[in-house]
Amino acid sequence: MKTHFVAAAIMAALLCASPARAEIQFMGAGARPCSLLNANAAADPAQTTTTMLIFSWVQGFLSGMNAMALNLPQKKALFDLDALPDQAQWNHLLAFCQANSGALIATAALDLGTKRMMKRGN
């Protein structure tokens, strides 16, 4: 239950953060707005260098969140990284970013993780 709270707290902090503050908290593709993904959107995440970079960052970010969670007292991963095929993950990111072009890609990643890949029992 506490790991679920940690994920929810991180999501809330991202959603409430100002863009300048969010850029300090994240580096790489996650610190960029969804409009970057929208401008380079492709049906397949491997179609362009930009989409490959964004998708790789998202998967690495969720993997890193799992690594962090394993160091908490509960020692449980937050996300089931095999819950969705890559294409379904990409489609979720595209839909989120199209609906929220000003949101950070990191926020899109957390939306994917918390809505589609959260481990049961967290």
CB of 3 closer than 8 Å to CB of 76: yes
Residue 118's φ and ψ, nearest 5 degrees, are -65, 130
Q: For 40, which DSSP code?
A: T
Residue 16 amino acid letter: C
pTM of the model: 0.77
Q: What is the pLDDT tens value at each position of the chain, 122 positions in all?
A: 454 555 555 554 444 444 444 444 678 999 999 999 999 988 877 788 999 999 999 999 999 999 988 888 888 888 999 999 999 999 999 999 999 999 999 999 999 999 999 887 65
Q: At what angle do helices 105-116 and 86-99 cross, to 10 degrees?
A: 120
CA-based radius of gyration for the chain: 14
